[in-house]
Amino acid sequence: MRAELIYNARAGPIAVRHEMGDVRDYLEHRGWNTTIRETRAPLEATRLAREAAERGIEVVVAVGGDGTVNEVAAGLIETDTALGVLPVGTTNVWALQMHIPALNPVGVDSQFARLTSDLEQRIDHKVPLSHYRTVLLNAAHVLLHGEVVSVDVGVANDRHFLLWCGVGLDAAVTESVPAEQKKSLGPLAFVGTTLNKLRDYRNASVTLTLDGTVRRVATSLIVASNIQLYGGILPLGARAYVNDGKLDVCVFHGEGILRYLQHVFKVAARTHVEDTEIDYYQAREVHVESSTPLPVHVDDEPFSETPVTIGVRPRALRAIVPRNVPRDLFV
């Protein structure tokens, strides 16, 4: 099996760099022919993945967080090359959703891994008990023994996404958190910024077109999901399938910290799908226009602003997932 591992050196902690050789050895001792390629510029992973597919490489592995997976996937759309994932970086929601071994973004294991990485950063040497090593080798086991499935890919204007496209509040938060804070604090980096934005963020008048049906709403947040999990913990796209050719769209009503805390509890309990304060739709194409420009992100990467057209490319990507992947993700 010929494979290329595309590693985001900007996002990954130094502990990951120390483990990459072990991961490559693990795969090569089991018959894989692997090459590691590092990226240092935005969207470089997309180019590298596309070139690998053109050379007939069977698997391209994204080594990083959500942003790296997004970029690699974009280069493999409508090719025979499969996407693999070794989850590191701030978070890797694709891995968490697919039950690929990964660090829980709010778990004790993430904090321990961060402490280990800080120690390795200071001494510039591997330490014996690296939690990243366990995670990466377990995820590499999935590459060897998993199965290949075809999944949908979302597209916002000309940018692709695997997870979600957000319009409004969450995009405003995403573009306000410095990359270094994401790297050092993980998901905790978003907490303070979210609370600050919630105090002042106001509804906009939005014209929402879903598969040709026009609705006019006042909202501060719209999320079009290709998967069920949001942020790695909340089942926002509770009815989503990753291969049904549709996006699950949530439109949030109301403003302020208290209202959004109520929204969070409803999403956590999966009652939001029938709630009058959160509209839940399924659609193949979504067009969003607003009275004032709203920021847009794809897979937690700031992208553009409204107006935006969000669609889906059905089963356009081949991906390696564990054999125990949740079957309720597929039709």
- Please, where are the H alpha helices in 89-188? 93-98, 108-123, 131-145, 169-176, 179-185
Q: How confident is the model at residue 116, as a pLDDT?
A: 56
User: Which one, of 43, 35, 39, 95, lies nearest residue 65 by Cα?
Assistant: 95
Identify which has the larger pLDDT, 16 or 66. 66
Query: Average pLDDT, stretch 202-216?
Result: 97
Q: Which of 115-124, 182-191, 199-208, 288-297 is the most confident on average?
A: 288-297
How many alpha carbons lie under 13 Å from residue 21 in its C-beta half-sphere?
4
Q: How confident is the model at residue 114, as a pLDDT?
A: 53
Question: pLDDT digits over 90-125, tens only?
Answer: 679 999 999 999 876 555 455 555 555 555 555 555
Domains of the chain: 2-145 (3.40.50.10330), 155-310 (2.60.200.40)
User: Above pLDDT 90, what percent of the chain?
Assistant: 70
Query: Average pLDDT, stretch 269-290?
Result: 97
CA distances from 81 to 1, 3, 86, 87, 144 (A): 11, 9, 16, 19, 15
Question: pLDDT digits over 149-187, tens only?
Answer: 999 999 999 999 999 999 999 999 988 887 766 666 666
User: Above pLDDT 70, what percent of the chain?
Assistant: 85
Are the C-beta atoms of 143 and 59 separated by less than 8 Å? yes
Question: pLDDT digits over 44-102, tens only?
Answer: 999 999 999 999 999 999 998 899 999 999 999 999 999 999 998 667 999 999 999 98
Q: How confident is the model at residue 167, as a pLDDT?
A: 98
- Here the tokens at position 256 are 């302020």
Q: How confident is the model at residue 192, as a pLDDT?
A: 74
Confidence of residue 194 (pLDDT cuts 50, 70, 90): confident
Q: How confident is the model at residue 20, as a pLDDT?
A: 83
Are the C-beta atoms of 287 and 304 separated by less than 8 Å? no
Question: pLDDT digits over 260-271, tens only?
Answer: 999 999 999 999
Query: Average pLDDT, stretch 11-36?
Result: 83
Are the C-beta atoms of 86 and 5 separated by less than 8 Å? yes
Q: How confident is the model at residue 199, as a pLDDT?
A: 82
Confidence of residue 197 (pLDDT cuts 50, 70, 90): confident
Q: How confident is the model at residue 108, as a pLDDT?
A: 45
Identify which has the larger pLDDT, 113 or 6. 6
* Side chain identity, residue 228: Q
Say how far apart CA 198 and CA 201 lie, in whole Å: 5
Query: Average pLDDT, stretch 277-297?
Result: 97
- Here the tokens at position 129 are 């008990």
Convert 256-266 to b/e letters by CB count within 10 Å (16 or more is b).
eeeebebbeeb
Q: What is the pTM of this model?
A: 0.89
* Side chain identity, residue 222: I
